């Protein structure tokens, strides 16, 4: 009989304990995270993790695109730089070197009183002839000859790029040396004519000719590029 009462008391005690524990747990909702809420958060976490993975992939993709764009940018820069370099050569703003000829023109000194001194026209004809023979860059006594350069007599001197030059005149031309030389020295050609006029003209083929840059500022006040033509 005693067993019975002990067990009843024990069971009642445990039941009371459980009841109160459950009561306290149930009324403890505010303090802790409710079970459903935890579940909800877990689901949300899963979704966010997936989203994060997606965004990460997207970021990688964009980074790759950016990388490619940067590469394209570098290439464009290279192309532009090459273009600028070429434009500078064409414009005569950079010294150029290459094979070519050196033409020296001097007044014959051995016959004093000779009428024919070297005139601007002679130099112009020489330059013209060299250009016709395919000269890519020209200079006259260190003055780069541009499309705007003048060669004309001013008093007793010849002016090039508004700069006085004195004899002997030295023309440097970059181009095919054989073509340039033969063009000048052709029978009955310009050099022969000049020599007939007692000028001392020497034409040398050169492996390396250095044509200096145009030293003044280029000014284009009136000419504007035509947009439609481009």
Partner 1 sequence: MWLGIWLAAIGLVLGMVIGFNVPFVFPQAYGKYMGLAVLAALDSVFGGVRASMEGRFDNAIFISGFFSNALLAAGLVFIGDRLAVELYTAAIVAFGVRLFQNLGAIRRHLLKK
- Least Å from the CB of residue 35 to partner 1: 5
Distance of CA 67 to the CA centre of its chain: 20
CB 120 within 8 A of CB 151: yes
Distances 199 to 12, 44, 45, 137, 165 between C-alpha atoms, Å: 139, 98, 97, 24, 17
Q: Which residue of 4, 219, 224, 227 would you call a contact of partner 1, by CB under 8 A?
A: 4
Q: Considering beta carbons, is residue 20 or 132 the nearer one to partner 1?
A: 20
Residue spans of beta strands (DSSP E) within the chain: 96-107, 137-140, 143-144, 151-154, 157-160, 163-165, 169-174, 199-211
Which tokens is 77 given?
């820069």
Q: Does 41 bind partner 1 (CB under 8 A)?
A: no
Q: Does 42 bind partner 1 (CB under 8 A)?
A: no
Q: Which stretch binds partner 1 (CB under 8 A): 23-31, 139-147, 154-162, 213-221?
A: 23-31
CA distance 90 to 229: 20
Q: Does 30 bind partner 1 (CB under 8 A)?
A: no
Distances 186 to 36, 180, 198 between C-alpha atoms, Å: 104, 10, 18
Q: Does 15 bind partner 1 (CB under 8 A)?
A: yes
Which tokens is 118 given?
């070297």
Q: Does 72 bind partner 1 (CB under 8 A)?
A: no
Q: Considering beta carbons, is residue 23 or 157 the nearer one to partner 1?
A: 23
- Least Å from the CB of residue 40 to partner 1: 13
Q: What single DSSP character describes residue 64?
A: H
- Least Å from the CB of residue 11 to partner 1: 5
State the number of binding residues for partner 1 (CB under 8 A).
30
- Least Å from the CB of residue 39 to partner 1: 10
Binding site for partner 1 (CB under 8 A): 3-5, 7-26, 28-29, 32-35, 38
């Amino acid at each position: 009989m005693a067993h019975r009462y002990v067990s009843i008391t024990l069971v009642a005690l445990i039941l009371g304990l459980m009841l109160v524990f459950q009561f306290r747990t149930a009324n403890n909702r505010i303090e802790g995270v409710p079970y459903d809420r935890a579940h909800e958060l877990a689901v949300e976490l899963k979704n966010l993790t997936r989203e994060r993975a997606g965004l990460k992939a997207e970021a990688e993709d964009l980074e790759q695109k950016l990388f490619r764009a940067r590469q394209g940018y570098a290439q464009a820069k290279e192309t532009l730089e090459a273009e600028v370099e070429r434009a500078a050569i064409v414009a005569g703003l950079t010294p150029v070197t290459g094979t070519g000829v050196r033409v020296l023109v001097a007044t014959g000194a051995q016959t004093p009183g000779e009428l024919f001194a070297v005139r601007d026209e002679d130099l112009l004809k020489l330059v013209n002839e060299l250009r016709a023979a395919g000269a890519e860059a020209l200079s006259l006594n260190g003055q780069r000859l541009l499309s705007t350069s003048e060669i004309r007599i001013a008093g007793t001197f010849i002016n090039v790029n508004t700069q006085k030059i004195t004899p002997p005149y030295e023309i440097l031309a970059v181009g095919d040396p054989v073509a340039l030389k033969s063009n000048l020295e052709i029978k009955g050609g310009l050099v022969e004519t000049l020599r007939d006029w007692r000028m001392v003209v020497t034409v040398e083929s050169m492996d390396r000719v250095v044509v200096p840059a145009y030293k003044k500022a280029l000014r284009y006040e009136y000419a504007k590029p035509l947009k439609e033509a481009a």
